[in-house]
Structure 1
Amino acid sequence: MTSTPVRLIFAVFLMALVGIYSSTADAADEREYVLGPGDIVRITVFQNPDLTTETRVSESGTLTFPLIGSIQVGGQSTLTAEKTIAARLRDGGFVLQPQVNVLPLQIRGNQVAVLGQVNRPGRFPLETANLRLTDMLATAGGIAASGADTVVLIGMREGKQVRREIDVPTLFASADLSNDLRLSGGDIIYVQRAPMYYIYGEVQRPGAFRLERRMSVMQGLATGGGTTLRGTTRGLRIHRRDAEGNVQVFEPKLDDLLQADDVIHVRESLF
């Protein structure tokens, strides 16, 4: 006869096993694609070829399947949709032990638009339920050289429109990945152009340059190749617009920080 402690240990073991199985199943379900309006899927039932169907998910999230009619699948993962269809077939007495497979053929419902300064802008499908911001940036070829470090995400959450600005370098510099947001169908990711500054006058390479974080006037000059033989760092001038749009002209120190759209003028030496 089994003692009480042994039975207790066995029960705890079974509960832990069920918990592990449940967690694994939930993780697998998150990796499955979530069906949305406009998706076209092929549904097959093992050993029932006459039930093979290609159908479209309607705008209301339903599809039509032989024997069971209309069924709600919008917002469900393919794994959950398979279980739902199998249950309807079994409960209706149509198939005793149905093994259903749902295969997305055309993904149109759950897409994310990636716009702006990325290498491959466009609309991309949410191939899994747990796809995150960095995954979609990688799908779009990454941020282009002209792109800013800050990414804007616009979408709907719980019926409300949200807008988030995510600092990508900070995201990877820390161990906190909470800002690597999980995406939803209809989200828009926008990568704006990186801030620029400008140099003209007696410099080796006058022109427009990307403004890096905490870039000083000296670093800005170095990016432009430094002054020419006739140029001098004395009497430098920076043209900067204030909040009202008025241009302010002043002489900076070499260790002063540049701001977006600053214009540096390098003057010719008088001697």
Structure 2
Amino acid sequence: MSSDIVRLGAGRVLRRLGGHGWLFRICLGVLVVFVAVALFAPWLAPQDPTVGDFADTMAGPSAQHWLGTDQGGHDTFSALLEGARTSLLGPLGVVVFSSAGGIAVGLLSGWRGGRVDAVISRVLDVLFAFPSLLLAILAVALFGKGLGAPVLAMAVAYLPYTARLVRGLTAQEKTRPYIAAYLVQGHAPGYVAVRGLLPNIAPTVLAQSTVNFGYALLDLAALSFLGLGVQPPTPDWGAMINHAQSAVLAGQPLSAVLPVVAVVAAVLAFNVVGERLGERGTTR
């Protein structure tokens, strides 16, 4: 009995995913591969990407180094695999913090309305004026290089996008009959907003968070490229692009081309998946 329920549930999920089209399925597959690589990178990487051999710098592809080495003698293939972990972990932190804060602020603003909504809207307008990368650079200047400070700063910069979306959806959804039914039954407004309203707007919020993930990945890669994000010897796609400039000049472009391809593929995949989820969320 339970196995039949599992099969029916799995079939329903697969049918819903299939309804998004072939491009969505390809991009979703790309994301699954990236997540799997990030999770299992320590076991997949043939060598330690933090240990370099200066006697074997900027070497071409070989049996020992499948994709060659960089200017520090680090194995490019291993660094690419390990770099997936830090390159995806940072955007995950940005999305988790910004989505949690944005949902709370948006629900409060859209549900309460009036002066509360007006004040929150003005604060969000101010936050919209600050580019995420600029806030990240400011955080680095104040707290030092690394991943923690830029992630928190970018979470603040991305919060208004989720908050504005949730605010609009909440203001629209709270006028529906099922919300009035909850309130007539004596449920507290906070309970109704979280348990009744939020699940109905969750698909659209998930779509926005997916798109935000791709943009956060791009911003953090740019920060690492500038030398302000993830610091050596920790592998990171943005840092790999920066460090591989000399390899390109020496005729070994794989160290730079491959992380660029990884960043572009991940950002495009997140954007496509997010956009398609958003389209289905608005037509439910």
Bigger share in helix? 2
Which is higher, the Rg of structure 1 or of structure 2?
1
Q: Give the TM interval when normalised to the shorter protein.
A: under 0.3
TM-score (norm. length: structure 1): 0.26
- TM-score, normalised to structure 2's length? 0.25
**Greater fraction of residues in strand:** 1
Greater RCO (CA < 8 Å, at least 6 residues apart): 2
